[in-house]
Structure 1
Amino acid sequence: MRTVRPSRVEIVEVGPRDGYQSIVPFIPTARKISFLRRLVGTGLRRVEIGSFVSERAIPQLRDTAEVLAACRDIEGIVPQVLTPNEKYGRAAVNAGSKFVAFVLSVSEAHNRNNVRRHPRESVEEYRRLIAALPDGVDVRLNLATSFDCPFDGRVAEDEVIALLDDLVPIRPDAEICLCDTTGRAAPDHVDRLFARAMDRFPEVSRWALHAHDTYGLGLANVYAAWNRGVPVFDASFAGLGGCPFAPGATGNVATEDLVWMFRRMGVETGIDLDALVPVACDGAEIPGGLPGGRVRHALSAARTT
């Protein structure tokens, strides 16, 4: 398979969802909206602004509908919302969402812990949701635990491919994101799984990687996916994150770290790193947050010496 390494990549900012969801002290809605404005001001466009999900499960995101409504007044933003089932997917669309990210887990243990369903049941929920979507709604499909499960360990590549065999035909034009939920993937695994998936599903035009940096391999895994031809990457400003359903998982790779790496490689992101670093520094100070990443420290120190 011939690999074309993208000369420009899209970074999807997921901090306002993945970065916030494990924070216990409630972040005021106005502050969430302020961060969105500042993030978009750096050149970021697609932002996962929250999730339509049970308020009891993730109380931090109970204001997602209000945040989504505020996005109408933020020029340039493409608000993406996460949903784990048909019910909340419909709620997202009814609230005005034009970009829905449906998530299910390859691992049965994780999917049952997350949404109390077998993965095959989630496949059918995805099928029903897609059938019900009106025209004009973009779709991303997130496959959590594509590489590793917090309960069962390494996930077999064959399991991922088998699940995609059922999912891809439902919406072939959906963007498909393979997620390293625990951060335990390694670059060779990332390269091999994307190579298999791309070869088997040539009809999928947009692949993405959702990487965590729990074991310090987030950037290496992003590089492996880019080297295989993946053009879309999730990241979280200040490296904020952590999954309530994946014990020990820290945040996504930091957005500023990705921008720095790609800039040094000569790959366009459209993001102003000088504008992003102050936002990341403020994000790292959110009470209860778990920040990560290195670039904001290095650049901030360089500016003061």
Structure 2
Amino acid sequence: MSETRRPRICEVAPRDGFQSIARPLPTDDKIAIIRDLVAAGCQRVEIGSFVSPKAIPQMGDMAQIAEAVRDLPARLCALVPNVRGAENAVAAGVAEVCYVFSVSEAHNRNNVRQSVEHSLEGLANVAAALPENVLLRVDVATAFDCPFDGTVPLDQVLAAVARVADIAPEAEIALCDTTGRANPFAVRDRFRAAMALPGTARNTWAFHGHDTFGQGVANALAAWDAGVSDFDTAAAGLGGCPFAPGATGNTATEDLVFAFNEGGLDTGIDMERLLAVADRIAALPGGVTGSHLRSVPRERAI
């Protein structure tokens, strides 16, 4: 393991977490939480998604949020479902966009109402529409398990990753454990196999995990061991996939930061300030959270 590598947390509560709450939250509260997450040391934040407000009312204020946080010293990313969403994100000053599709045909049709092939065509359109100064990230959902079909074959995952790399050879590719059903051995092996594909030499990598089966932190550490440095987590463990029955929250940011800290790996995040934000997020009405660090004596966590 290289001593020069540092883990980077990509805080996803403002997107993946907030969208799990049905009742729209006050815009000012969302902005304040994003600003507090960055102040706590989060270097990357997924601030929301430029989707139709009819589909996800919680994201109807994205342009206002993007305008209010664009001064922050962090990489700010927004999810986009199509070219129109990408154009709206760019117009709002977002410098990094994320496109998501599922390897599993069943999950992709339930999640975005189209075939995997159609989604890959959509990725090509988004990639072509982005200005050169806007970064692209691609979330490869159900890269381990599908809530409808079970374990997703490795060959199917590698074929999807190869297509992504061909379309976007410099994008960040995130393998996503959508259901939380992955185990550390599968995470390590699948990342190693994907990173060994000849067409992925210029891609960078991230891991998005859930803690549904209690494997969130262990899976992230397995990804780190495979060479991944960027990790999606949500403060307080807020969130879950509405199209993955039984999937609970994201891996809690504070839990993974604690693990890295205990291993002598500096994330740059202030645990005391992070826990204060996590407490605020956990108090949001309608949210479902799941954090270990918030339940232990605070002086022991810090």
Q: Tell me, yes or no, whether TM beats 0.5.
A: yes
Residues 73-222 of structure 1 aligned to structure 2 (within 5 Å): 73=71, 75-201=72-198, 202-222=200-220
Q: Is the 8 A contact 1:198 1:204 kept in 2?
A: no
Q: 2:213 is aligned with what amino acid?
A: Y
1:100-125 per-residue CA deviation (whole Å, 9 max, x = no partner) reads: 01111111111111111111111111
* Structure 2 unaligned blocks of 5 or more: none
Q: TM-score, normalised by structure 2?
A: 0.95
Q: Is the 8 A contact 1:81 1:101 kept in 2?
A: yes
C-alpha displacement of 1:134: 1.0
Q: Give yes or no for the alignment of 1:275 onto 2:277.
A: no
Give the number of equivalent residue pairs: 300
Q: 2:145 is aligned with what amino acid?
A: D
Partners of 1:174 and 1:162 lie apart in 2 by 16
**SS across alignment from 2:123:** helix
C-alpha displacement of 1:91: 2.3
Q: Is the 8 A contact 1:5 1:229 kept in 2?
A: no
**SS across alignment from 2:211:** coil
Partners of 1:154 and 1:34 lie apart in 2 by 39
Q: Give yes or no for the alignment of 1:239 onto 2:237.
A: yes
Partners of 2:274 and 2:297 lie apart in 1 by 11
Q: Which runs of 4+ in 1 moved over 3 A?
A: 3-7
**SS across alignment from 1:54:** coil
Q: Is the 8 A contact 2:83 2:129 kept in 1?
A: no
Partners of 2:15 and 2:184 lie apart in 1 by 25
Partners of 1:61 and 1:200 lie apart in 2 by 36
Partners of 2:208 and 2:98 lie apart in 1 by 12
Partners of 1:236 and 1:197 lie apart in 2 by 25
Question: 175-184 or 144-153: which moved more?
Answer: 144-153
**SS across alignment from 1:20:** helix
Partners of 1:183 and 1:285 lie apart in 2 by 24
C-alpha displacement of 1:90: 2.4
1:157-180 per-residue CA deviation (whole Å, 9 max, x = no partner) reads: 111111122210222111100000
Q: TM-score, normalised by structure 1?
A: 0.94
C-alpha displacement of 1:56: 2.3
Q: Is the 8 A contact 1:4 1:228 kept in 2?
A: no
RMSD: 1.6
**SS across alignment from 1:21:** helix
Aligned pair partner of 1:261 in 259, 262, 265: 259
Partners of 1:123 and 1:182 lie apart in 2 by 22
C-alpha displacement of 1:32: 0.3
* Structure 1 unaligned blocks of 5 or more: none
Q: 2:89 is aligned with what amino acid?
A: A
Aligned pair partner of 1:25 in 18, 23, 28: 23
C-alpha displacement of 1:302: 4.6
Aligned partner of 1:41 in structure 2 is 39
Q: 2:252 is aligned with what amino acid?
A: A
Q: 1:90 to 1:208 in 2, by over 3 A?
A: same
Aligned partner of 1:11 in structure 2 is 9
